[in-house]
Structure 1
């Protein structure tokens, strides 16, 4: 479990280093959040199972989003409020 969390953190740090060369950081962070949400949804059977690593990665990435994008997340960590569509 701890090894997986370290791997996910490392992968995200590498992703962020790639983003340094790009101009629109908010758009790029949103793409990372969406990719992680898709990965969680692909594992769903019939409801996604959130582990600690998923919650940590998503929480760290979502905090980097502007507030208006944070409210429109399709997937939110358990206990997080979602805006109604």
Structure 2
């Protein structure tokens, strides 16, 4: 359990710089993809 939590925290910390450097269009596209994925999973 602790290893899993450390893994998740490390992934979030490593992905933070890429989130800050991306443009608004990329963020909007990712949100659309995630919303679609969420809708498919709810079915």
Higher normalized helix content (fraction of residues):
2
- Of structures 1 and 2, the larger Rg is shown by 2
- The interval holding the TM-score normalised by the smaller chain is 0.3 to 0.5
Superposition TM-score, scaled by structure 2 size = 0.46
Superposition TM-score, scaled by structure 1 size = 0.32
